[in-house]
Structure 1
């Protein structure tokens, strides 16, 4: 488990990344601008930072450069952007970023970049400056504790509007599979035939408790 700081001015991206990383067992702190990122970095001492390039006050590359010049770049930093040029990505890596993720960020690329970032020493980041960091990343192997799920009988109140009845069924359906698969989102996505990012949004919409401890325990 790692402490990860997510810095992005878009609420939807912060929420989605937070849910994914939390499900992988990490502690996540969120910041929407450079000022909050500075404070969070000081307070939580993150093991890894996901840093957006384009932000309203101080951009991500400037913040990265600030940390590097102040001797505060002692954690892996992964840059994110949907509009950055190749030159911007190269500059960020030369300053000390360990990788660059282009938005929209796929689940596979995110998890692989985080896995690799946490496995490397921050001081080695400059060694990649001769070329771009890997962006075509494959799905990492993930191990989840197998938990024997109890057998649960489901009953439904059919005397209600169709939409409510359908939502109740879908919620029970996904909660059942989460229990069966020991809380593994990867296995539930495979079992239900949904892409994992869509699965997260569906569970949130239905009000399914995504707390790892509650789902596994």
Structure 2
């Protein structure tokens, strides 16, 4: 899954995109303006950016041009707008955007565009020292730390717990993916709530979710966050 930065000044759209992309298994960072987008771009180095064109401080095309001039367009950027002209979309594409989404965005179109953006074949150049060739990294690059199965030391038989077919822990693998994921998330959040004595602040830090999204996720899973014991 990918790290996706969503930049939009409308809170409703940010939250909706967060829910959709989070449910798809992505890690999502939100920004409501260009200033927050710049900071997030440096902090998390996103795999893809959804960038709104019309924003109050700096518009998306200007921010895109800024990233391009600074050599920061090393990730696919998909522009979004509900009232952009064809010329604006063409200009954004010329600067470096990989696609354009017109609001209101349909779920199928959103997921397909993100899939295409994440799986594009365009290599990303990595700066090299003077006199040395530049290395290109593509989506097919292998992990240099990975070892083959023959190089791994055999694990003692008695250390491997017996698993029933179709089960992973207490979660059945024979059920639909969404139900299995909900079951896993329920166990995951209940574990962290118990571990942190129901401190929402610490659970938020542990899980990497903002408190607002954490409360929404717990409600969605039917988990009641009990008051901390004194």
TM-score normalised over the length of structure 2: 0.57
Structure 2: runs of 5+ lacking an equivalent: 125-165, 181-215, 224-230
Count of matched residue positions in the alignment of Structure 1 and Structure 2: 145
Runs of 4+ in 1 over 6 A off after TM superposition: 146-151
- 2:114 match: 114
Structure-1 residue corresponding to 2:11: 11
Q: Which residues of structure 1 form unaligned runs of 5+?
A: 125-145, 152-178, 186-203, 212-217
1:3/1:29 contact within 8 Å kept: yes
SS in 2 for 1:28: strand
> CA 1:180–1:55 in 2, change beyond 3 Å: closer, same or farther?
same
The equivalent of 2:92 in structure 1 is: 92
String of CA shifts for 1:3-54, please: whole Å, max 9, x gaps: 0000000111001101111111110000000000000000000000000000
Aligned to 2:59: 59
TM superposition shift of 1:208: 1.9
TM-score (norm 1): 0.60
1:173-216 CA distances to partner (integer Å, 9 max, x unpaired)? xxxxxx9523169xxxxxxxxxxxxxxxxxx69932299xxxxx
RMSD: 2.9
SS at the partner of 2:51? strand
Measured in 1, the distance between the counterparts of 2:34 and 2:62 equals 9
Q: Which protein, 1 or 2, shows the higher relative CO under an 8 Å CA cutoff with sep ≥ 6?
A: 1
